[in-house]
Amino acid sequence: MRVDGREAPPRGTILDAVLALGISLPHLCKDDNLPPIGACRTCLVEADGRVVAACHTPAEGITEVSTGSPRVVALRTTVLELTRGMHGPRPDIAGGPSSGELWAAYEAHRLAEPPGPRRERSGLDASSPFFAFHEQQCILCGRCVAACQQLQHIGAIGIAGRGTAARVTPGAGATFADSACTACGSCVAACPTHALVPKEGRA
Ligand code: SF4
Ligand code: FES
């Protein structure tokens, strides 16, 4: 398989090959330690002439991948523009967990600050002694849910509701302090947008 003209081992997924070559490609709902969710579509590439999500497309059988064709860059930019409409302004955090994957993706696709209007999701759950959830930054990628359920097997965090009513919730509890959360930090580490941040990382 060749990715952007470079030879890559046809193992795992296309995203595995792309990242192994050191090529930058957004993958906002794919945690390095978990199976793909396939929710965000920010990892679109062209593979043998088809547009596919790199995170869950096997590399086996693919011969040519392009991460930078005008067609696929335009599609990813459109996806990111839609994502941009889901959250608030860039949080004032230097570094931090995941180092702002979302904002790196915007910059790589020449997208500026979020335009309004956006979803009316502005809750703050600072009940945990260790982290805070700033709902305005959430893009509903599901990485926190997968980390809590599949890595930690706790299930203290979920996504409730559908469509524009969908939101991240602390399971059956009203707040994270009331939930089964053990403050392990997996959700914070997984979040690509700084919606979940350690308390010392943000006022
Ligand atoms: S809190 Fe973060 S990891 Fe969880 S769904 Fe929202 S953006 Fe994704
Ligand atoms: S990273 Fe591939 S669909 Fe989200």
The pLDDT of residue 96 is above 90:
no
pLDDT at 201 over 70: no
Q: Indicate which CATH number applies to the domain containing 78.
A: 3.10.20.740
Q: Both tokens of residue 58?
A: 């096997």
SS3 145: helix
How sure is the predictor about 165, in pLDDT bands with cuts at 50, 70 and 90?
A: confident
The one-letter amino acid code at 20 reads A
More confident residue, 36 or 94: 36
Average pLDDT score over residue span 107-129 = 78
Q: Is any ligand 2 atom within 6 A of the Cβ of residue 53?
A: yes
Which pTM does this prediction carry?
A: 0.84
Domain, as residue range, for 11: 2-83
Q: Give per-residue pLDDT as tens, 40-68.
A: 999 999 999 999 999 999 999 999 999 99
Residues 78, 126, single domain; the answer is no
The span from the CA of 27 to the CA of 54, in Å, is 8
The CA 5 to ligand 1 mean position distance, Å, reads 34
Task: Tell me the best of 25, 42, 102 to mutate to test the pocket of ligand 2, counting ligand atoms within 8 Å of each CB and taking the most.
Answer: 42
Residue 111 counted as domain residue: no
Element (H, E) at 158: strand 158-160
